[in-house]
């Protein structure tokens, strides 16, 4: 075999440095710290690297050497396909991605898929090559979050759970935000209230939930939104009746099904207060199909302030989901180490659309 026909050995940083008669640091700087080299020298290194088939320093070796992965882990409490269908979740992930892009970091999504197995969670979390985790709206007993906390890396929790030591929380005041909406609902004259909520338990159940059980949920976001309604309703005493309907899935179809079910259970309801825009828009779909006029026959409100809700002129609470994700990412990457505790609450606004009106007949 001639010299020219021999297979070329894989080029490395060391062989490139030897070929150019420069130090390994010089080659490394051409990729990682170009400001340390003259343009002429850097161009010579890159040209030789291209000729030799060298694609740059091994990122795995670099992360081992630097003890840094330059990657943010995103923990989700829902299947991955949900994340790319739910409008608020999409905006949140976009915000985290913006923060990562600005800092030159990668983003690794770690979906839990609803699994509650602690050992499986630990294996998944411990395999993730990340510098820290953003946990998006997970339950207080989520085993993936527990495994992340045991890794002793920085963790930022968004929305829930609250009250964890050594963790930064980014979110909104769900209780106060929903209370502001509930005040308008009660002031409009509604006393028979139906609450349509996302899941309150880890088993994805559908159906009516007693109010006291809903207020004891480990999912603090839904719990606090329902509590905000109950806070305002308590000022009216026995005048107000509240029926809570939980839906295990979160899409317009499940919202439509929940609306149909709750109106069958409590037909005197005059307003459906939904803990998300998705459920509210589903309820509006059901109403249109059932010949129920909104808001003349039935008022409907949402929560999130999505673009679809704005197009439907839905009365809703608007929260900054994308900013929430961006702040969570920025804070995580600014933390010096694990066990940093503080909370950052973002503002919400009430958008008064055309789907809330006084009930046709006061109960």
Report CA 222 to chain centroid distance, whole Å. 14
Say how far apart CA 351 and CA 362 lie, in whole Å: 24
Q: What is the 3-state secondary structure (H, E, C) of 281-311?
A: HHHHHHHHHHCCCCCCCCEEEEEECCHHHHH
pLDDT band at 303 (very low <50, low <70, confident <90, very high): very high
pLDDT (mean) for 20-43: 87
> Is the per-residue pLDDT at 62 higher than 70?
no
Checking 200-203 for CB contacts under 8 A at 24+ apart, the result is: 200/246, 201/246, 202/114, 202/116, 202/139, 202/141, 203/248
Query: Which range in 136-140, 184-188, 248-252 is most confidently predicted, on average pLDDT?
Result: 184-188
> Is the per-residue pLDDT at 95 higher than 50?
yes
- Provide the pLDDT for residue 13: 82
Mean pLDDT of the chain: 88
Say how far apart CA 155 and CA 134 lie, in whole Å: 6
Say how far apart CA 179 and CA 187 lie, in whole Å: 12
Other residues' Cβ atoms within 10 Å of the Cβ of residue 289? 11
Query: Tens of pLDDT along 168-186?
Result: 999 999 999 999 999 999 9
> Is the per-residue pLDDT at 12 higher than 50?
yes
Q: For 114-118, 228-232, 265-269, which range has the lowest pLDDT when averaged over its residues?
A: 114-118
- Provide the pLDDT for residue 362: 46
pLDDT band at 2 (very low <50, low <70, confident <90, very high): very low
- Provide the pLDDT for residue 99: 95
- Residue 86: helix, strand or coil by DSSP? coil
- Provide the pLDDT for residue 282: 98
Say how far apart CA 137 and CA 161 lie, in whole Å: 7
Going along the chain from its start, the domains and CATH numbers come out as 3-54 (1.10.260.40), 71-172+322-345 (3.40.50.2300), 174-319 (3.40.50.2300)
DSSP labels for 100-120?
HHHHT-EEEEEE-TT---HHH
pLDDT band at 119 (very low <50, low <70, confident <90, very high): confident
- Provide the pLDDT for residue 189: 97
């Amino acid at each position: 075999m001639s010299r020219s026909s021999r297979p070329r050995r894989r080029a490395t940083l060391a062989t490139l440095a030897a070929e150019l008669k420069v130090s390994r640091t010089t080659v490394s700087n051409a990729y990682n710290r170009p400001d340390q080299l003259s343009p002429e020298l850097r161009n010579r290194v890159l040209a030789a690297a291209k000729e030799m088939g060298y694609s740059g320093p091994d990122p795995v070796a670099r992360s081992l050497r630097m003890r840094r992965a330059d990657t943010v882990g995103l923990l989700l409490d829902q299947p991955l396909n949900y994340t790319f269908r739910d409008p608020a979740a999409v905006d949140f992930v976009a915000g985290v991605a913006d923060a990562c892009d600005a800092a030159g970091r990668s983003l690794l999504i770690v979906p839990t898929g609803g699994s509650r197995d602690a050992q499986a969670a630990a294996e998944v979390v411990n395999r993730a090559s990340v510098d820290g985790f953003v946990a998006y709206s997970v339950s207080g007993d989520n085993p993936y979050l527990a495994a992340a906390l045991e890794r002793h890396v920085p963790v930022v929790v968004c929305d829930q759970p609250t009250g964890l030591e050594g963790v930064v929380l980014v979110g909104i005041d769900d209780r106060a935000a929903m209370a502001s909406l509930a005040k308008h609902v009660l002031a409009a004259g509604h006393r028979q209230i139906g609450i349509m909520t996302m899941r309150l338990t880890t088993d994805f159940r559908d159906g009516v939930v007693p109010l006291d059980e809903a207020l004891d949920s480990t999912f603090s976001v839904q719990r606090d939104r329902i509590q905000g309604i109950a806070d305002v309703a308590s000022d009216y005493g026995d005048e107000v009746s509240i029926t809570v309907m939980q839906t295990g899935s979160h899409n317009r179809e499940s919202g439509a099904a929940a609306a149909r079910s709750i109106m069958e259970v409590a037909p005197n309801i005059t307003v459906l207060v939904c803990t998300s825009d998705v459920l509210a828009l589903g309820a509006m779909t059901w109403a249109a199909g059932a010949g129920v006029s909104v808001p003349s026959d039935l008022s409907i409100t949402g929560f999130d302030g999505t673009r679809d809700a704005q197009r439907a002129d839905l009365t809703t609470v608007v929260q900054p989901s994308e900013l929430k994700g961006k702040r969570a990412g920025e804070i995580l990457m600014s933390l010096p180490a694990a066990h940093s505790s503080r909370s950052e609450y973002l503002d919400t606004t009430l958008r008064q659309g055309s789907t809330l009106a006084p009930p046709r007949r006061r109960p």
